[in-house]
Structure 1
Amino acid sequence: MLATKDVTHSLSDPDEPGTDVLTDKAARRNLQRTAFISTLGGLLFGVDTGVINGAIGYMATPSELNLTPSDEGLVTSGITLGAAFGAVFAGRLSDKIGRRRLLKYLAILFLICTFACSVAPNAIVMIIFRALLGLAVGGSSVIVPTYLSEISTPSIRGRLVTQNELMIVTGQLLAFVVNAILGNMFGHVSHIWRYMIGFGIIPAILLFFGMYFVPESPRWLVMKGRAKEALNSLKTLRSRSENCETEISQIQNALNQEKEIKQATFKDLGTPWIRRLVLIGIGLGVMQQFIGINIMMYYGTTILTQAGFAHNAALIANIFNGVVSVLATIVGMSLMNRVNRRKMLTTGIVGTTVSLILIVIVSATLANSSLLPIFVVLCTMMFLGFFQGFISPLVWLLLSEIFPQNLRGLGMGVSTFFLWFANFLVGYFFPILLSGIGMTFTFVVFVFFNILSFGFAYKYAPETRGKSLEQIQLEFKYGDESGVNPESK
């Protein structure tokens, strides 16, 4: 799913012996604990986007909020519309007030908006607070990976940052489990959906209080000229305090170099290679969403109910989707450094396309058959396996690799905004399509989008594995098909 990764900053030089000071087990545990607390933001991301999967069927009934298909789309996808704006503004805000303080404020926003959604008296209030909740979701999707990259060491940076994405799908799985338990044990209770949504208050409280036990980012403190505080912060995360001063000096040198780099602005989009790079970033983000992941994550229970499951049985079956997402994410994290990017991405899209075609076939040929729900859940699990294992981590990795330092702020900001907006469009229109043309033809629409996505990925997705950021930039600037050797430039 859905987390922005900025992993370009180094707190120490991996090629310089003795600088990676994370060798003591106690220090490693302290760093892991800090990472776990901060990635509760990712867990909240997953819980708040996944909980609607089971709750929407209850709240849509006439005796509850009496939602129209359009209302269902706005309740479900309003969170992603808010996230688009939260992701855009979070980076600058965290530069002003700090990563730790912003995460604490986001925890408060998670808490207030989750509570407001759980007691919403009508659809309008629900839609408004789901959109406001999206600000926290989008903000955490940017700040958590940034914070993780700034507190980690080179030897574990990749694993620590991708831990956030694992926490997102774990949060969605947790939401599915809670939905199934509440739905099956207390489904007869009035307003049970309110308790499903209210569950998100618990991790929000844990994140808020947990932030009191983690240090501020040393890199941010150095940015603010608070080197002494940065040193003290770093010492809580490292076992060899004598090396911390060297690491702080490296941060200062890196920041001084960054100040000398002129950052790209919208005016630079007039340059053909920059415009092409940004358009590819936008295309990757939109492609990731139009493939259809969030029709599974947001409407999985609805799809299974349409296929013939009883609602309570659909809640339980949906847990398997969550389990597959978690396992596939783990597999994808292990593969991304061993398989070429383009091959992995196109293979994933072929897998999701075949999965959706199979859903179309079985829904058209096995209507009213007892086998239909079984085949549908197997197809959705297949879809999630290919998407979470091959597509989702690759898109975020490519976005973190294709933009050079001076273009990263503009490129990532614009690409992430369009990614979230595409997420909103998919979430909003799916229930409208489902109500208007039925499940079979709705999935035909997404088969078409998958075919377009394959064409885009095959033609435009760059191969970045094993290449430096400078080499990637030169290939976009001068063309890797013209025989240009980036090393000679």
Structure 2
Amino acid sequence: MKKRSEADRLITTIVVVVTMGALAFGYDTGVIAGALPFMQLPIAEGGLGLTPLTEGLVTSALVLGAAFGSLVCGIMADRFGRRDSLMALSVVFVIGAIGTAQAPSVTVMVVMRAILGFAVGGASALVPMFISEMAPSGRRGRLVSQNEMMIVTGQLVAYTLNAGLAHFSQSPSIWRTMLMIAAVPAILLGVGLFFVPRSPRWLASKGRTEEAQHVLELIRSTDRQVRQEMRAIYTAVDDDAEQIGWRQAFGETWIKRLLLIGVSLGFTAQFTGVNAFMYFTPIILRQTGLGTEAALIATIGDGLVAVGATFAGIWMIGKFPRRVTLLSGLCGAVLAHIGLGATLLFLKGTAIESYMALGFILLALLFIQMMVSPLYWLLMSELFPMRVRGVLTGLSVSCQWIFNATVAFLFPILLHAIGPNTFFVFALINVVSFCFVARFLPETKGLSLEKLETHLQTHLSPSI
């Protein structure tokens, strides 16, 4: 009993420390919503003189950097380990936070946002991967979903601080303080990782089996669990040893199909429009007549709904199949986009337009953050085999960030060009995503990572 409590405490500590990377990820993606209105001011008035084009560049620079970061860090994680790669990223987080806060021009801001994005992308690939390799199979879903909880918590913290700083500060340069705060979770991540062990699966893949067993003895509650898990890891490592390298692994049809599914899930997650709302809710609401301060306060609702929805999503992950949950979330997103588009189209200029628009934004976030986003990050930690987990996770998450950047760059332009019809486009895309998930996504619930690998290989290999 004593060993169980000690193992549970260590697992909890590991999850809390590692998800500081997710908290930094969430804050850095959320803070831009509050900073943009001030950055639109002329340079002489404390802003950067952003136009709709440069606004899209500043916003999308982070996600383009994240696409590169997730790819590079996925490869680094296979070579240097999950923990040590996260340590390096904590330093990049701090550099990016300071650089964006001190940026004197749009050019410098775009460069520093890209550097910050590298860290965000790396964390997005490594944090769920690391947790999934440390967690017992029965708790993997809920523990990995803490990643999404910390992302939305970071966004809520960003929205709350944005509104508070905008209300109480009279300085038009307050956006610099908003951006500087991002260094805090990065420092906590870097310091905390010194007290976290390395992944036992990565250690075993490098032939360091004694160290792997020692880590398992620390994070598992019984000797029987340690023996069973070590046997499964030994078997997986022996099977992987037959592969000359990850390039050869790509010759296997089932792995190519897994990669295609991983990339497509990134498209599905981003084209729900979740980050169009998380980045641009103030911009949407200002078009309905709300002032800047009121719009910033309204974004706190985005964060509160996201956090509450993620709590519910973590519960659902333990109760329902992955496919059912994801398909239900996509249905809800379609209905919310249609409602938002209709509100902006048919209620324009009415007294209730702002309230109805905010209501449909929150409804969309409720479905997405409860049933889509947590499932995406969980699936990224589950789908790929050990021998190429880092590189395949990095490739898939990298593509997800490219889709994120596409949405971030095009959304303000589309909203200006076609107005409310933008949301009908999102609804149509989500119908296509629903069809893809229903047809191609295999169920992953209830299996250890090693058993899941065997299941997926059988499920996705071509029939003879």
TM-score in terms of structure 1 length: 0.84
Instruction: Note closer, same or farther for the CA distance 1:112–1:391 as it changes in structure 2 (3 Å cut).
Output: same
Local SS of the residue matching 2:461: helix
1:92 is aligned to 2:72: no
CA contact (8 A) 1:150 1:217 kept: yes
Deviations 1:118-147 (A, max 9, x none): 010111111111111111111111222232
Indicate whether 1:392 and 2:376 are aligned: no
Q: Percent identity?
A: 40
SS of residue paired to 1:457: helix
Shift of 1:314: 1.4
Query: Secondary structure at 1:135's aligned position in 2?
Result: helix
Q: 1:202 aligns with which of 184, 187, 192?
A: 184
1:215 maps to what in 2?
197
Deviation larger for 143-152 or 406-415? 406-415
Tell whether the 8 Å contact from 1:266 to 1:410 is kept in structure 2 after alignment.
Answer: no
Counterpart AA for 1:129: M
Give the counterpart letter for 1:200 in structure 2: A
Question: Residue 58 of structure 1 corresponds to which residue in structure 2?
Answer: 38
- In structure 1, what is the Cα distance between the partners aligned to 2:248 and 2:425? 34
What residue is the counterpart of 1:164 in the other structure? Answer: 147
Q: Where does 1:308-347 land on structure 2 (aligned, <5 Å)?
A: 308-347=289-328
CA deviation after TM superposition for structure 1 residue 465, in Å: 5.1
- CA–CA distance in 2 between the matches of 1:462 and 1:278? 13
1:349–1:125: structure 2 CA closer, same or farther, 3 Å change rule? Answer: same
Q: Deviation at 1:469?
A: 4.3
Matches within 5 A, 1:47-196: 47-62=27-42, 63=45, 64-186=47-169, 188-196=170-178
For the Cα contact (< 8 Å) 2:73–2:394, is it kept in 1? no
Cα contact 2:148–2:373 (8 A) shared by 1: no
Q: Which runs of no fewer than 5 residues in structure 1 stay unpaired?
A: 1-20, 480-488
Given the alignment of the two structures, is residue 382 of structure 1 paired with residue 366 of structure 2, yes or no? no
Aligned amino acid, residue 55 of structure 1: A
Cα distance in structure 2, aligned partners of 1:210 and 1:281:
30
Counterpart pick for 2:285 among 264, 284, 304: 304
| Distance in structure 1 (CA, Å) of the matches to 2:409 and 2:75 | 29
- Match for residue 420 of structure 1? 401
Going from structure 1 to structure 2, the CA distance change for 1:262 and 1:337 (only over 3 Å counts) comes to farther
8 Å contact 1:22–1:28 — kept in the other structure?
Answer: no
How far residue 285 of structure 1 moved from its aligned partner, in angstroms, is: 1.5
- Contact 2:74-2:391 at 8 Å conserved across structures: no
The 8 Å contact of residues 349 and 450 in structure 1, kept in 2 or not, is answered as yes
Q: Does 1:356 align with 2:340?
A: no
Deviation at 1:206, TM superposition (A): 1.5
CA separation of 1:472/1:233 partners in 2, compared to 1, >3 Å: closer, same or farther? closer
Q: Aligned AA for 2:357?
A: V
Cα deviation, residue 31, structure 1: 2.8
Matches within 5 A, 1:242-321: 251-252=233-234, 254-261=236-243, 265=247, 268=250, 275-321=256-302
CA distance in 2, matches of 1:216, 1:299: 38
Does 74-83 or 212-221 show the bigger shift?
212-221
Q: Which runs of 5+ in 2 are unaligned?
A: none
Structure 1 position 464, deviation (Å):
4.9
- Please give the alpha-carbon distance, in whole angstroms, between the structure 1 residues aligned to 2:81 and 2:391: 21
Q: CA deviation at 1:478?
A: 4.0
SS in 1 for 2:319: coil
Q: Secondary structure at the match of 1:308?
A: coil
Q: Say if 1:45 and 1:171, in contact at 8 Å, map to a contact too.
A: yes
Q: Secondary structure at the match of 1:141?
A: helix
**Cα distance change of structure 1 residues 205 and 290 upon mapping to structure 2, 3 Å threshold:** same
2:454 is the alignment partner of 1:470: yes
**Quick one: distance in 2 between partners of 1:250 and 1:172?**
38
**Per the alignment, in what secondary structure is the counterpart of residue 285 of structure 2?**
helix
| Structure 1 residue 457: Cα displacement | 3.1
Q: Give the whole-Å Cα distance in 2 for the aligned partners of 1:145 and 1:133.
A: 19
Relative distance call for 1:399 and 1:228 in structure 2 (3 A) is: closer
Conserved? CA contact 1:403–1:473, under 8 Å: no
Aligned twin of 1:31? 11
What is residue 11 of structure 1 aligned with on the other side? none
Instruction: Tell me the equivalent position of 2:437.
Output: 457
Deviation readout 1:18-49 (Å, 9 max, x if unpaired): xxx98432442233123211110111010111
Deviations 1:219-269 (A, max 9, x none): 444444555655665565467799878866765554333323466638956
Task: For residue 101 of structure 1, report the CA deviation from its aligned partner.
Answer: 2.6
Question: CA shift at 1:398, angstroms?
Answer: 4.3
Q: CA RMSD in A?
A: 3.0
Distance 1:273 1:251, change over 3 A: closer
- Counterpart AA for 2:242: E
Whether the 8 Å CA contact 2:24–2:182 is kept in 1: the answer is yes
Which shifted more, 246-255 or 145-154? 246-255
Q: 1:273 to 1:355 in 2, by over 3 A?
A: same
Q: Which moved more, 1:252-261 or 1:139-148?
A: 252-261
TM-score, normalization: structure 2?
Answer: 0.88
Residue 410 to residue 97, structure 1, CA distance change in 2 (3 Å): closer
- Does the CA-based 8 Å contact 2:343-2:357 persist in structure 1? yes
